[in-house]
Amino acid sequence: MDEDARHRDRMRRKKELIDRRIARATIDRGVLVVNTGNGKGKSSSGFGMLARSLGHGFRCGVVQFIKGSFSTGEEAFFRMFEDGPLDYRVMGEGYTWETQDKARDIAAAMAAWEEAERMLGDASYDFVLLDELNIALVKNYIPLDRVLHALATRPERQHVVVTGRGAPDALVEAADTVTEMRVVKHAYQAGIRAQKGVEL
């Protein structure tokens, strides 16, 4: 058997295996995705899923926790969809080391959570992105039990993405898909500042 024939045979066997796995996946419902870890890309992945959902004509909601003291590229871009299928809420007041006011941070996080809870209770939202919610949970600014209850009782077909470092174990357990971003190398470690189009 020549190399081309061996390749075709390997790909035929691989296709059969993948087709069997696809055939076994018969459940059709909303998924809970958690993007966590110390590496870059948690929010970027969530916003990529938002773009995909908008492309499919979904009604989408975004609540950004923590972020808010400066404008980001994703906010500037996705605001263009607000008159249609997107409800975009920037609810944070900046990183906690910038605000230096725990009571104010808690109040902002709870206000953001109330907005998120409203979206999670509304079946007209097909996709909800809760950006940096994990940070508010790690700092105990929002009761974890309340978040888990809202996620568990959301509309059956609603997809939710939660981002941020340090996802609590109970949230990881509740999620359908969990990705942990790992730092291999980061420009910041070499003294390169955050820049538009990359971090901002």
Indicate whether 18 belongs to any domain. no
pLDDT of residue 125: 98
Kindly report the CATH number assigned to the domain that includes residue 38. Answer: 3.40.50.300
**3-class secondary structure, 49:** helix
Indicate whether 136 belongs to any domain. yes
pLDDT of residue 97: 54
Indicate whether 13 belongs to any domain. no
* DSSP H stretches of helix in 29-86: 42-55, 73-78
Indicate whether 37 belongs to any domain. yes
Please, are residues 136 and 66 in contact by the beta-carbon 8 Å criterion?
A: yes
Indicate whether 164 belongs to any domain. yes
Indicate whether 176 belongs to any domain. yes
Indicate whether 110 belongs to any domain. yes
pLDDT of residue 82: 77
DSSP string, 138-150: HTTSS-HHHHHHH
pLDDT of residue 163: 98
Q: How far is CA 192 from CA 165, 187, 188, 195, in A?
A: 21, 5, 5, 9
Q: 3-state DSSP helix/strand/coil percent for the chain, to nearest 5? A: 45, 15, 40
pLDDT of residue 170: 98
pLDDT of residue 66: 80
Indicate whether 153 belongs to any domain. yes
Domains of the chain: total = 1
- d(C-alpha 44, C-alpha 163), whole Å: 9
From first to last of its 200 residues, the chain has per-residue pLDDT tens of 799 889 999 999 999 999 899 889 888 999 999 999 999 999 999 999 999 999 999 999 999 998 655 678 888 889 888 788 999 999 876 555 566 678 888 999 999 999 999 999 999 999 999 999 999 999 999 999 999 999 999 999 999 999 999 999 999 999 999 999 999 998 878 888 888 788 77
Instruction: Give the domain range for residue 59.
Output: 29-190
- d(C-alpha 74, C-alpha 79), whole Å: 8
